[in-house]
Structure 1
Amino acid sequence: MNEVKSATTIAEIERELRYISGIIKQKGREILNNYPITTPQFIALQWLLEDGDLTIGELSNKINLAFSTTTDLVDRMENNLLVERKKDTKDRRVVRIYLLDKGKQIIREVIEKRQVYLQDVLNDVPNDKVESLYDVLYLLHNQMKMDKEKVNNK
């Protein structure tokens, strides 16, 4: 399992992932043009949908923005009725950000449109190749999560 991978192959994989990521981001921006949210707001709403309610600090860490920038972002989302700040039920000093129905609806619609785009792109690719692609991406993601845990546990 610890075979030495070709530097050229690794470079090609990194390049392809970068290109794919760029195309998906661009397509995502095109889709977001039809909604009253910015890309950073979309990313924040995705985290809230996936992880549930978060504090400003937790959200700030997940979206890699400064605490003050995240506060401004949440202010705008709250004004647009996408999220709501509530005091934590266990510790009244802690304020959590909750995703509201309007925010959930926007995220679901945007993700659905991104999935339709991907479906269209993969339409002519044989099913077994699509399954293999999923398997490899799943494996890569898990390897990256394990690597991140190793770094965090040091």
Structure 2
Amino acid sequence: MANKSEEYATILRKISCLFRSTGSFMKKELESYNIGKGQFLFFMYLLKNGDGISQENLSEELNIDKGTTARALNVLINNNYVIKKVDTKDHRINRIYLTDKARKIEKEIEKLNIKWEEIMTYGISEEELKVFENVLDKMLNNLHNVKLKEEVK
């Protein structure tokens, strides 16, 4: 029987494999749109949750550092998928908005996302997916709590 350390290594290896496989799939599928796998998460968040979010809140919502967020948004800006506007009430805040170009490909990008989700979850019941999501949420919460403790030190 495997010890805890080996079990954790196996879990991490499988999560890493899912991450890399998703990246490879997205890189190939998004190439024609000039959207990289690094920008996809930001693009999908804005499509699903609406735009107008501040750049800082976007980083927080996705749990991605500010530098990575800025780089990803710059690529989307350079490809005319999003624009950045200074908040009218607080000039320190940059708000992110989807462009018409982004709206034109919204359905295609959503279909791509659904296709990948169907591939990844084939043969997995709704109940199994809910349990898996709950476990991932608990793991993320654990990591968040450790991060908060480190920030307090």
What is the aligned counterpart of 2:68 among 47, 64, 70?
Answer: 64
Aligned length in residues: 142
1:123 pairs with 2:122: yes
Identity of aligned residues (%): 22
Q: Deviations over 1:63-103 (max 9, x none)?
A: 537x7xx39x62x53343322232332244x3624222433
Of structures 1 and 2, the one scoring higher in RCO (CA 8 A, sep 6+) is: 1
SS at match of 2:33: coil
Question: Structure 2, unaligned stretches of length 5 or more?
Answer: none
Q: Distance in 2 between matches of 1:128 and 1:78?
A: 39
Contact 2:87–2:95 (8 Å) recurs in 1: no
Q: Given the two structures, how large is their TM-score scaled by the length of structure 1? A: 0.67
Q: For 1:8, give the aligned amino acid.
A: E
d(CA) in 2 for partners of 1:47, 1:126: 25
Give the alignment's TM-score, normalised by structure 2. Answer: 0.67
**1:121 & 1:43 partners in 2: Cα distance?**
17
Q: Which residue number corresponds to residue 147 of structure 2? A: 148
CA-atom RMSD in angstroms: 3.4
Measure the CA separation in 2 of the matches of 1:116 and 1:110: 10
* More displaced 10-residue stretch of structure 1: 39-48 or 137-146: 39-48
- The 1-side partners of 2:118 and 2:140 are apart by 21
Structure 1: gaps (5+ residues): none
- Higher Cα radius of gyration: 1
